[in-house]
Amino acid sequence: MIYNDFSLSIVVPMYNEGDNVTVFYDKITDVLQSNGYNYEIICVNDGSKDDTMERLRILATRDRRVKVINLSRNFGKEIAMSAGLKYSKSDIVIPIDADLQDPPEVIPTLIEKWKEGYDVVYATRLKREGETWLKKITAHSFYRVIGKMTRFEIPADTGDFRLMNRQVVEAINQLPEQHRFMKGLFSWVGFKQTSISYYREPRFAGKSSFNYWKLWNFAIEGITSFSFAPLQIATYLGLLIALLSLIYAFYLVIVTVTLGNSVPGYPSLMVAILFFGGVQLITLGIIGEYIGRIYNESKKRPLYLVKEELNIDNESQITRLKISR
């Protein structure tokens, strides 16, 4: 296959990135133009509350290659990225954040690796600058835990920054689930994948919208989307407790026969009741997480609603409508 002539879509989900929009545009266009790529930049405004959309509107007026999708509200980064993938129409697609933590200078390296015949080239972080030690440790642990729980490999220390060819993007666009853990979906579709390594930079400006509570929910989303391990753990825990209870029952029988009928102590009784009650509540909570996801999927609502489109031609809109469900 000859790669001398190809088109490139850059997908950029944005939420309150007003301070980064212009700098990001200048930096990425410098990289794309200096390499002579045929490109489009698809910016998805995910219900920003600052001046992100106003800045994007100015860029779209200056440069027709800047495509802007303005969602009706904040749907979350995973949904915004999915919207960008639906609108893309190029031979290869690269999702990237607007905060410049993923340096645009890595894009030519991704493309050179793709030319070797790979369908997906993902970028693995060697170092995470500008992040707290707690976030680094939790992120490191999360990737290892979910890697053990799933039946397919989710690359560790790898975000959304990657290159995908048209076939892979179309495969991802066919996945209709509401709860979208994109790092898992990128791996689940398969195809021939490889990686490159890079150093992640600190944010250029602004503050990340991902606090620890959101990161915790994000981790739960990823685990429950691609693994039944929590349900299995609850089952094994129940079996273990039942076995221990049976052993304790035999112990009580033996003590009663040999030493007579003794009155059990109140503290030990309360500890047992609270312990078993806690285990039951945890198990019900795990089951509830899965049932809640079933409930959301059963409503079959669209992933997102678009309020405004800029520089989107009719052809791309028709394509989107055909594959949006």
pLDDT at 126 over 90: no
> By the 8 A CB rule, do 130 and 202 touch?
yes
DSSP string, 39-105: EEEEEEE-S-SSSHHHHHHHHHHH-TTEEEEEESS---HHHHHHHHHHH--SSEEEE--TTSSS-GG
Per-residue pLDDT tens for 166-207? Answer: 988 998 888 877 777 777 788 778 788 888 888 776 554 445
CA–CA distance, 319 with 314 (Å, rounded to integer)? 9
Q: Are strands 66-71 and 92-95 parallel, antiparallel or unpaired?
A: unpaired
Contact in structure between 181 and 108 (CB atoms under 8 Å): no
| Amino acid (1-letter code) at residue 251 | Y
The better pLDDT of the pair 204, 287 is held by 287
pLDDT at 188: 78
Pairing of strands 120-128, 158-165: antiparallel
Contact 42, 67 (CB under 8 A): yes
Q: Are residues 63 and 205 part of one domain? A: yes
Examine the domain organization and report whether 272 and 132 are in the same domain: no
Mean pLDDT value of segment 67-96: 89
Give the tens place of pLDDT for each residue, 250-272.
666 676 667 665 556 655 665 56
Judge whether 2 lies within some domain.
no
Q: Are 151 and 121 in a shared domain?
A: yes
Does a structural domain hold residue 16? yes
CA 113 to CA 193: how far, in whole Å?
10
User: In the chain, pLDDT over 70 holds for what percent of residues?
Assistant: 63
Check whether residue 132 and residue 51 sit in a common domain.
Answer: yes
Would you place residue 320 in the very low, low, confident or very high pLDDT band (cuts 50, 70, 90)? Answer: very low
Which pair of structure tokens corresponds to residue 231? 């349900």
* 197 or 69: which leads in pLDDT: 69
Are 161 and 17 members of one domain?
A: yes
Assessment of whether the complete model's pTM goes beyond 0.85: no
Q: Are residues 210 and 294 in the same domain?
A: no
CA distance 79 to 26: 26
161 CB-near residues (< 8 Å, 6+ apart): 94, 95, 96, 97, 102, 106, 122, 123
**The predicted structure's pLDDT at residue 316:** 43
Task: Give per-residue pLDDT as tens, 143-169.
Answer: 666 666 666 666 666 778 889 899 889
Domain assignment present for residue 124? The answer is yes
The stretch 82-96 carries a mean pLDDT of 90
Nearest alpha carbon to residue 131 among 199, 63, 181: 199
Torsion 152-172-183-286 (CA) sign? negative
Across the chain, where does the E strand assignment appear? 7-14, 38-45, 66-71, 92-95, 120-128, 158-165, 193-200, 306-310
DSSP label of 227: -
Alpha-carbon distances, residue 221 vs 126, 146, 147, 216, 231 (angstroms)? 25, 11, 14, 9, 14
- For residue 292, give its domain range: 229-299
Number of domains in the chain: 2
Q: Give residue 134's pLDDT.
A: 64
Distance of CA 290 to the CA centre of its chain: 18
Predicted confidence (pLDDT) at residue 133 exceeds the cutoff of 60: no
pLDDT of residue 249: 65
Measured CA to CA, the distance from residue 322 to residue 325 in angstroms comes to 8
**23 and 159, same domain (yes or no):** yes
According to the model, what pLDDT value does residue 130 have?
52
Residues 129 and 158: their CA atoms lie apart, in Å, by: 14
Based on the fold, state whether residues 283 and 313 are members of the same structural domain.
no
Pair (98, 56) in one structural domain: yes
How far apart, in Å, do the first and last CA atoms of the chain sit? 32
The three-class DSSP label of residue 118 is coil
Cα–Cα nearest to 48, from 72, 24, 81, 65? 72
CATH number at residue 150: 3.90.550.10
Are residues 193 and 314 located together in one domain of the fold?
yes
Phi, psi of 309 (to 5 degrees): -125, 135
Residue 56 has pLDDT above 90, yes or no: yes
Residues 128 and 190 reside in one and the same domain? yes
Asked if residue 195 and residue 286 are part of one domain, the reply reads no
Q: Tell whether 258 is covered by a domain.
A: yes
**Mean pLDDT of the chain, nearest integer:** 75
